[in-house]
Structures are given as structure tokens and as C-alpha cells.
Amino acid sequence: MMHYPVRLSANSPKYSPRKIARLFACAALFVAASAWAAPASAPIVLTGADRRPATSLSGEWGSIVDPYFSGLFSFHHEEKANGWFRNEKAKPGDTRPVEYDFSKAPKLKVPGDWNTQRQSLYYYEGPIWYERDFTYQPVEHKRVFLHVGAANYRSWFWVNGTKVCEHEGGFTSFNCDVTAAIHSGANFIVAAVDNTRHEDNVPTLETDWWNYGGLTREISLIAVPDQFIDQYDLHLSRVDASVIEGWVHVMDAEPGATVAIQIPELKAKTTATVGDGGRAAIHFSVQSLERWSPESPKLYKVQIRAGQDEISELTGFRTVEARGTEILLNGKPIFLRGICIHAEAPYRTGRAYTDKDAETLLGWAREMGSNYVRLAHYPHDETMLRAADRMGLLVWSENPVYWAVQFDNPKVLAKAEQQLEEEINTSRNHPAIILWSMANETPNTEARTRFITTEAAHARGLDPTRLITAALLVRAEGNTKIVDDPLGKALDVIGVNEYIGWYEKTPETADVTEWRFDFQKPVIASELGGDARAGLHGGPNDRWTEEYQANIYRHQLGMLSKIAQLRGMSPWILMDFRSPNRPLAGIQDDFNRKGLISEQGQKKQAFFILQKAYKEKTIGKAE
């Protein structure tokens, strides 16, 4: 909005004294609004934030549904200086109307999506305000951060009426510096969260999963020293298996400051010096290190110290690389027997966020015989990744560049790269993660290829120790599936999605299907399958039945076993999940039914077919 200078005079016939006073009052209000709207500190990423001592803000928050966003914007869409972030209360004798009151508002549980907490919010897309009172005692020479595990999709945060940050992206964690806003004793935090879909969002307007809104993951306060460890990367060298290397970054550290690393169980320790950019390079030898693997997911306590700051990380050490058409884990070929998983909570449904959610979902994957999971179609939270570390499940982690985002829009690329940075910098020390996925099922266009190739290069710059992949669409000529998408040049591992027997032809078509690959790289069948409602039975050719889904899997397994460069598979999907694209009453009822398990935990026939193949290792080369 443009603002033009106005020359005012008390003698001007156009402006009466009352009008001049009103204009000056409006100008004062605008100055106040501008001061409020001044950018707060940008959120930062903290590696291993969930390992730091924290004050939890979980629980019931006051909530106000605000579809017009009138709590933040005026009728002319200008930011209000007296918005709801002030958390005002009506006072006796006050003539001003205060038309909101968080203390009287309905409650929403945090963490949690709003869609499954209140029937009236089931389909709601738009802004909702949250408020929480809390007490706190700041400590001198400590900085305080508001840690947000995830808020879908765009969010704004205020502490005691002061704006502390805003963020875009619904599946990555971020941290807002609240040191200047928080004080001793009673405090309040106000958040506005808007899950409205827009064309220039990442992901864009259409997704085949539910647009769960709200503060969907853990919210807490984290206190750190003035100079603190914000990011670090410790990994096993690919060249020398007795060497741990990487780096530690210390925020606001002076060059020459010391960083100390210790792994007590291995009796290993080292020190390093912080350089001009705040980063200290790490390189030290260890003896008798047990490498992390699905068969033996060994985790070590690693202590990292810098000045007054200390982090105790729990991590494992392993290497992963691609060589020709092989995926090598700890230098040895591996076949990835896996399954796709959405962050959908079993039994209660809604967005998954608890340890129990993660252990149930990954426990089912392990029961199936999996050594790998594709966590689709966005970064999952730390509870899921920590569980994968403990349980020995390799992970494909995915940036939400889904279907057809605006690939020719530089602002959209910047959003995708921001989310990629937050994903990698938050989760880089999970040994379970071996694949960073750039995208899923994107159209083959020059703009798309440039966009995702740029993403891939950015990911390699952030983390050269893992493999880059994407799930590609496959074209067909007769009964030949052809993988020649030019994006394959930018990938270390080729993911291919296909649905023979469901979206194309019949299950038996898989028996006569041949595959041609234009890339001599490892291939993962990243998606395959079909829908079935648990408990619905019929013949092998009756759609929507467990028997039909099982028939698809029988023929798919036979076809996949003949693909020479196949190095893994992750059928779609472990558990049924909500999607607004699935309205068929009595069958789908707002759920994608391709799960091998229903949302209530009922295993379908196809689960046992895949389980048998995995446990007997009848598909893929034996490791």
C-alpha cells in the first residue's frame, strides 16, 4: 500500500480542525502499527532441539476462530496496532468495546491439529488464534527461544504483546528468540495459525492428504547461554571407518573459542577451534566403534561443549553411498524392504505427534519385515525420527514439493529451499535418514527440472553425506515402463511410482510388463498398490476388497523381482489416512484406503503377502 505525504494547514479550507486532529490520530496509529509490524528476528534452526532441557507449553490453549483474520487485519487489510495479539481484557468503566476474550474462548489441545478436536473445524481452512498463560523466571546471560515443532501453514507469534517471529511452512521446526519479550512471573503467548492453501505455497493447492491446521507438534521454551551451539554435524568418514568428522557451529562465538566433543562409551574425545564463521571443524579417531545398522541400531551418547553451552546428543554412526546400481550401507550392498508412512495417528486419527504414535506405526513396519520407511510427503517430526533411530529403520525424508508447484516462480523456489534447509539442519544427526527426497510425482517440464536440480544441489551443499532422490512418474509404451525423466540426472537414487492394477489396466498386466531405465543408478519402487476397505471381501477381481488389493500385490511382487537394478521398494502405504480427494461413501469416507492396515489397526490380506515376501527375502538380492 502506498502512503503519500499530506501538507496540512489549520487554515486550509479542505481540513477542519476536527479532521486535522483525526488525521494526526490516524498517523499516530499508523506509526504504532508500523512499529509493531517491524520485522522480528528471523526464526533459527536448532539441531537436536528436543535434546535440550525445555519448559513445555503443551496443554489447553484458548482459541478463537477468525475466518476473516479480523484479529490481525483491518477492513482494508492493514495490520492492526491493537490486534488480538495484545490479549486485552475488558475493564470496568472502559467505554471501548473489546470483542474477544481468550480466557472465555473454547480450548484446543497443543500439540494437535484442530480438525479432529472439534467437529465444526473438521473442514476448516483459515486462521485460528491461540493463547496460553504461563509463568517463567528468566536467568541472567541466558537467551530464551520459543521452540515450535510445527505450525501449519503460516504462523505468527507474540509474547506479552511483542511480535517475536513469523514462519511459513507446515512441517518443519523453528525457534523464535523471545529473550527481550519474556519477563519474570506471569507471561502470555499468542499465536495465529493459518492453514489456507495458496498456489504459491509449498505444497501447493492440491494434496492427497488432509490439510491439518494448528500447532501440530510440541511447543516449548528453551534457554541457552549468550553464545550457544545452534547446529552441528557429526558423521562417520566414508574414507576411514575409524574417523568421526563434521563440524559444530556456535552462534555469536568469537574466533578462537573452543569446542569439545566426547563419546564416553568409546573413551574418545577431541577439541577444535571456532573459525571466523562460528564453525569448528571436527576430525578425530575412535576405537571399537559399532556401526549403526537395521540389524544393530547402536546409539552413542555424544557430549558437545562450547563455553557455557552443552548438548548431549544420542546418535549412531554409519555410512551410505551409491555405487553404480548399488546402495551401500557401511560399505555393503543393501536392499531396502520398506513401506510408505504418512504422519497420521493410528486409532485416534489426526496428525501424529506422540512417541506412542511413532512406535505403533514403525512397530507395524518392523512387524512386516521392513528395514526402511519412506516418510511421506513432508518432513516428519523428531519423535518419529528418534524412534526410527532406536528401532533400526532406514528413512527416506521428503521435502513437500508435491505434484505441480509453481516451478517458474523464484519465490516458490525460495520457500522450498527454506523448508529444505530447516529439514536438513534440524534432522541431520539421525543415523536412520539415508535419503533426502526433493519431490514427489512432478510433471516433466524444463521449469520443473531446473527447480528440483537447484534443490538437489542445495541439499548436497548442506549435507554431502546422504543420497538425493525423488519419486518420479513413469511413462509407458505398450507394456514397457520407461524411466527417462531428465530429472534422473540430478539424483543419486531413482524413485519410481506406478499403480498397475489400480489406476491402469489389471493386476495381471504386471506379469507382462517390462522396464527400461536410462540411468545406471539404484532404483526404488517408491509407490505401488491399490485401495481396499478393511473387512470388505469378494473375489480377486472385485475392486475395493481385500482380495483385490492382495491380488495387486501378488502380481507386483513377481514383476518387481525381475527388475535387475531394483534396490528397494516402499509400497503405498502402511495405514489408511485422511484425504479430501476420497469421498466415496461407505468405502473411502474421506480416507485413502491404500493402507495395508486400517486407521483402527486392522491388518488387510495384502499386509501378510508383503510380510511373507520381506521375511523370506523373495524379492531383491540377499544382503
If DSSP states are collapsed to H, E and C, what string results for 497-550? ECCECCCECCHHHHHHCEEEECCCCCEEEEECCCCECCCCCCCCCCCECHHHHH
> pLDDT, tens digit, for every residue of 215-244?
999 999 999 999 999 999 999 999 999 999
pLDDT band at 7 (very low <50, low <70, confident <90, very high): very low
Alpha-helical regions (H) of 507-621: 546-560, 605-616
> pLDDT, tens digit, for every residue of 308-332?
999 999 999 999 999 999 999 999 9
Over range 471-500, report the average pLDDT: 97
pLDDT band at 98 (very low <50, low <70, confident <90, very high): confident
Q: Are 463 and 490 in contact (CB under 8 A)?
A: no
Count of other CB atoms within 10 angstroms of residue 623: 13
> pLDDT, tens digit, for every residue of 36-94?
444 567 899 999 999 999 999 999 999 999 999 999 987 767 778 889 999 998 888 87
Residue the block writes with cell 478436536: 117
Task: In whole angstroms, give the CA distance from residue 491 to residue 469.
Answer: 5
> pLDDT, tens digit, for every residue of 522-552?
999 999 999 999 999 999 999 999 999 999 9
DSSP 423-473: HHHHHTT-TTEEEEEEEES----HHHHHHHHHHHHHHHHH-TTSEEEEEEE
pLDDT, position 173: 97
- Classify each residue of 300-320 as buried b or exposed e, where b means 16 or more C-beta atoms within 10 Å of its C-beta: bebebbbbebebebebbbbbb
Give percent of the chain with pLDDT exceeding 70. Answer: 93
Mean pLDDT, all residues of the chain: 93
pLDDT, position 82: 83
Residue count (the chain): 623
Residue 556 predicted with pLDDT over 60: yes
Question: Residue 617 has which C-alpha cell?
Answer: 527375502
Task: In whole angstroms, give the CA distance from residue 12 to residue 20.
Answer: 10
pLDDT, position 97: 82
pLDDT, position 18: 41
Over range 375-379, report the average pLDDT: 97
Task: In whole angstroms, give the CA distance from residue 321 to residue 331.
Answer: 8
Q: Which domains does the chain have, with CATH numbers?
A: 49-225 (2.60.120.260), 238-318 (2.60.40.10), 321-616 (3.20.20.80)
pLDDT, position 3: 31
Query: Looking at the DSSP assignment, which residues form a beta bridge with residue 278?
Result: none
Residue 561 predicted with pLDDT over 50: yes
pLDDT, position 33: 40
Q: Are 347 and 359 in contact (CB under 8 A)?
A: no
pLDDT band at 10 (very low <50, low <70, confident <90, very high): very low
Residue 12 predicted with pLDDT over 70: no
Task: In whole angstroms, give the CA distance from residue 440 to residue 516.
Answer: 20
